[in-house]
Amino acid sequence: MKRHRRAKIVATLGPASSDADTIRRLFEAGVDVFRLNFSHGSKDDHRARRDIIRSLEREADYPIAILQDLQGPKIRLGAVKDGKVALATGSTIRLVLDKTASDAGHLPLPHPEIFEAVMPGHNLLVDDGKVRLVVTGLTNDAIEARVAVGGVVSDRKGVNLPDTVLQLSPITEKDREDLAFGLDLGVDWVAFSFVQRPSDLIEAHQLVGGRAGVMAKIEKPSALTAIDDIITLADAVMVARGDLGVEIPAEDVPGAQKDLVRLCRLAAKPVIIATQMLESMIQTPTPTRAEASDVATAIYDGADAVMLSAESASGQFPVHAVETMDRIIRRTEQHRSYRPIIEALKPAIEAMPQHAVAAAAAEVADAIGASAVVAFTQNGTTAYRIARQRSPVPILGLTPHEQTARRLALLWGTYSIRSDEVSDYSQMVDQAVAQALAADYVKPGETLVVVAGVPFGQSGSTNNLRVVTV
């Protein structure tokens, strides 16, 4: 299954895409990673989808990654009086620590951690920011607020607090149960929602225990203030522009996206751009021109992957949405502006042998017109370092570990193959040539650049580069 593009596609499964035939068609249309959204669906639903994916993987003999996306803490109002209340701009409102409110002048907010952390001047955004409140005063069990932007507020509407760092773990009891279930299913990546600080990822790693890659979803302003440490601790990052776009001004989201992609590329960590990429295709068979430009922008930025949410989970045209995204990516990568932009964004390389060898492999492959770079890797690190260069030459990631092969399905420009361990140079060359020929990435007379670590089988020891003529 040779993809004729470098960036990857993540697609969410849901009611519109749960049967074997649709999942197969999504895969054939270009999906590299399937997302299981644990904010919706039952465990039985997710298990059934996992079974279909793994069956398809065996049949296609092609590694497919499964991403488990945990719901995270949801801050919501309680039940307001009469089910809804109209808040006039400039009026005052009182938020009370309760599940219900019997007074129209009160909004119930059953989250004690907010009352402990919020300060005067902080904003509370209700219903995706449609209503904005500004805190003016505090008591032990109430928050006084001015209505800066009015509107109608109804029961259980979500609340965002862009200025407040809550002493709240992003991993709820529901998440812990879902995580244990997902790890037993054998998911390859786990996305943790509403990460606020580096300690959240330390907790996530302790719970995952190395059984899957840990992905940080960036959707809180507090995460942006500690982003260097968060990227260091994460195995991958998702730019979740939905909640992030509520909590920071909309005009700041494009810049934040570019910064996050650049930082992840510098750190050799995969990054996904998510939310509303082809939103109109939930209901129509064609995207807007702005949506096509949005996908293309993520590709020009150098993102590893772009993601479909409701478009593939509950939309009317799930397969067509994937086909459309695939076409946009391929056309963007073929455009004459693509290579100059990608080259201009190339990160500086740390002065360490393993980084220098990986960068040199990409440079040599491009300079000599090699058919592929073959990376022998235990946990994917060598492939990550090569992919960071965004070379036009495809990468074959050879690994003895099935889980590593699946995780690499998310990585830019990389086709992963599960292969036998190698123990000497002769085996290394023979294995590289055999796998590249079998995958149709090279023909006799063409060249490969082969990268590995010596001693063989030792993770993180990228130190050997060979040029091989087939």
Residue with the bigger pLDDT between 139 and 125: it is 125
Instruction: Give the per-residue pLDDT at 375.
Output: 94
Instruction: Give the per-residue pLDDT at 306.
Output: 98
pLDDT tens for residues 267-292? Answer: 999 999 999 999 999 999 999 999 99
Asked whether residue 1 carries a pLDDT value surpassing 70, the answer given is: no
Asked whether residue 461 carries a pLDDT value surpassing 80, the answer given is: no
Residues in Cβ contact with 374 at an 8 Å cutoff, skipping those fewer than 6 apart = 395, 396, 398, 432, 435, 436, 448, 449, 450, 451
Q: What is the pLDDT confidence band of residue 409, given thresholds at 50, 70 and 90?
A: very high
Peptide bond into 347 cis (omega under 30): no
Q: What percent helix, strand, coil does the chain show, rounded to 5?
A: 40, 25, 35
Q: Are strands 213-218 and 33-37 parallel, antiparallel or unpaired?
A: unpaired
Instruction: Give the per-residue pLDDT at 460.
Output: 63
Instruction: Using alpha carbons, select from 188, 140, 196, 137 the residue that is nearest to residue 165.
Output: 196
The proportion of the chain whose per-residue pLDDT surpasses 90, expressed as a percent, equals: 85
Instruction: Give the per-residue pLDDT at 104.
Output: 80
pLDDT tens for residues 413-441? Answer: 999 999 888 878 888 889 999 999 999 99
Asked whether residue 117 carries a pLDDT value surpassing 90, the answer given is: yes
Residue 228: φ, ψ to 5°: -60, -45
Asked whether residue 299 carries a pLDDT value surpassing 70, the answer given is: yes
Determine the Cα–Cα distance for residues 331 and 333; give it in Å rounded to an integer. Answer: 6
Asked whether residue 454 carries a pLDDT value surpassing 90, the answer given is: no
Asked whether residue 385 carries a pLDDT value surpassing 90, the answer given is: yes
Instruction: Give the per-residue pLDDT at 266.
Output: 93
Asked whether residue 377 carries a pLDDT value surpassing 70, the answer given is: yes
Residues in Cβ contact with 210 at an 8 Å cutoff, skipping those fewer than 6 apart = none
Domain boundaries, the chain: 8-72+169-344, 81-160, 353-469
Q: How far is CA 420 from CA 150, 432, 467, in A?
A: 63, 11, 21
Question: Which region among 137-141, 191-195, 420-424 has the lowest average model confidence (pLDDT)?
Answer: 420-424
Q: Mark out the alpha helices in 267-372 (DSSP H runs).
A: 289-301, 310-313, 318-334, 338-344, 353-368
Q: How many helices (H) and strands (E) does the chain have?
A: 17, 21
Residues in Cβ contact with 28 at an 8 Å cutoff, skipping those fewer than 6 apart = none
Q: What is the pLDDT confidence band of residue 457, given thresholds at 50, 70 and 90?
A: low
Q: What is the pLDDT confidence band of residue 81, given thresholds at 50, 70 and 90?
A: confident
Determine the Cα–Cα distance for residues 321 and 374; give it in Å rounded to an integer. Answer: 32
Question: Which region among 6-15, 139-148, 204-213, 296-305 has the lowest average model confidence (pLDDT)?
Answer: 139-148
> Tokens in use for 430?
């023979």
Would you tell me which CATH number, out of the four given (3.90.79.10, 3.20.20.60, 3.40.50.2300, 3.10.20.30), belongs to the domain 8-72+169-344?
A: 3.20.20.60
Instruction: Give the per-residue pLDDT at 346.
Output: 83
Average pLDDT, the chain: 94
pLDDT tens for residues 12-30? Answer: 999 999 999 999 999 999 9
Asked whether residue 380 carries a pLDDT value surpassing 80, the answer given is: yes
Instruction: Using alpha carbons, select from 267, 266, 268, 271 the residue that is nearest to residue 189.
Output: 271
Active site residues: 35, 76, 217, 275
Q: Are 94 and 107 in contact (CB under 8 A)?
A: yes
The proportion of the chain whose per-residue pLDDT surpasses 70, expressed as a percent, equals: 99
Q: Are 465 and 360 in contact (CB under 8 A)?
A: yes
Asked whether residue 250 carries a pLDDT value surpassing 70, the answer given is: yes
Q: Are strands 123-126 and 131-138 parallel, antiparallel or unpaired?
A: antiparallel
In CATH, 353-469 is 3.50.50.60: no
> Tokens in use for 459?
């993770």
Instruction: Using alpha carbons, select from 217, 218, 230 the residue that is nearest to residue 190.
Output: 217
Question: Which region among 39-53, 72-86, 270-284, 406-420 has the lowest average model confidence (pLDDT)?
Answer: 72-86
Read off the pTM.
Answer: 0.93
Fold topology of 81-160: M1 Pyruvate Kinase; Domain 3 (2.40.33)
Sequence length of the chain is 470
HSE, side-chain direction, 13 A CA sphere, residue 148: 15
Q: Are strands 142-149 and 131-138 parallel, antiparallel or unpaired?
A: antiparallel
pLDDT tens for residues 147-170? Answer: 999 999 998 899 999 999 888 888
Q: Are 257 and 239 in contact (CB under 8 A)?
A: yes
Asked whether residue 141 carries a pLDDT value surpassing 90, the answer given is: no
Equal CATH topology for 81-160 and 353-469: no
Instruction: Give the per-residue pLDDT at 455.
Output: 72
